[in-house]
Amino acid sequence: MTGANRLSKLRWPYALGLLAVVVFVAGYGMAQGLRPNEREAKPQINVQDKDDIRKADSKIWVLELKFYDPRPITVDIPGRGRELCWYMKYQVLNNTPDPHFFIPDFELVTHDKPGLYRDQVLPKVEEAIKQIEDPTGYLDIKNSVTIASKPIPVSKPGLPRPVTGVAIWDDVNPESNRYSIFVSGLSNGWSLAEDPANPTMQVIRRKTLQLNFRRVGDRYYQTPEEIKFVPPAEWIYRSTNARIPGINVAEKAPPQAPKK
């Protein structure tokens, strides 16, 4: 037997073992109802929750999010020219007893090159994304405004009713390689904490989903394969910019009657 034949025979067990691993991973993903590159963030309990979210009559509701790794896309935007944008396709599922509105707030925060970017409604970019992600229109992809127009319907066991949306960011620093996406609106959970800058006031925090990602590669050649999710998905209570008189902003004094 030649050396090549011996090497070929030695490779077969390795190849079969590798194939078994690939089949197992693919089968596990299908068993979980996930497609390739699809992630899921199921509701989790936080110590700040004012009620047990596992109870059917809980006052705190939490929606489930399935999401895909963000992808870059270059589009000609009217009045702005050709720009590189990032987008993340996602699906919202409601496994609670009642329909709930999802009024999303997607914030992308870069860590190594500090910056904060808010989700944008850009029709031309949205149109280009649909040509890639949903050319037949079957998913009826919505932006952050249209997805909030109707409540997310209740899913039943074996009958999920996902609503598909897309978040878009532009002008993301191309030098950044580490960032997080914070998703608010998936829950009505909130809490108060003392404002360190003003002890007489409090900070309002919302139950928020934090998704961490990393990017490998250089700024000049950005491809979808470079952006990877860094598990796990985390539920946190995050400070907001909401202003409520008497809570985190001073109440206005009542108008005084004019002197006679």
Query: Do 27 and 114 belong together in one domain?
Result: no
Tally Cβ neighbours within 10 Å of residue 191. Answer: 16
Report the number of secondary-structure helices (H) and strands (E) in the chain: 2, 11
Q: Which residues, other chains included, contact 22 with Cβ-Cβ below 8 Å and sequence gap of 6+?
A: none
For residue 138, tell me if it sits in a domain.
yes
Residue 259 confidence (pLDDT):
63
Which of 207, 181, 239, 159 has its CA nearest to residue 53? Answer: 207
Is residue 180 in a domain?
A: yes
The answer to whether the Cα torsion of 121, 122, 125, 127 is positive or negative is positive
User: Is 23 in the same domain as 56?
Assistant: no
Residue 14 to residue 131: CA distance in whole angstroms: 40
Note whether residue 172 is domain-resident: yes
pLDDT: which is higher, 36 or 45? 45
112 shares a domain with 11: no
Q: Are 16 and 116 part of one and the same domain?
A: no
Task: Place 198 in a pLDDT band, splitting at 50, 70 and 90.
Answer: confident
Displacement of CA 44 from its chain's centroid (Å) = 15
In this prediction the pTM is 0.79
Q: Half-sphere exposure of residue 23, counting CA atoms within 13 Å on the CB side?
A: 6
Per the structure, how many domains does the chain have?
2
Residue 2 pLDDT level (bands cut at 50, 70, 90)? low
Structural domain that includes position 8: 1-32
User: Do 93 and 62 contact (CB within 8 A), yes or no?
Assistant: no
Q: Is the pLDDT of residue 29 over 60?
A: no
Name the percent of the chain lying above pLDDT 70: 75
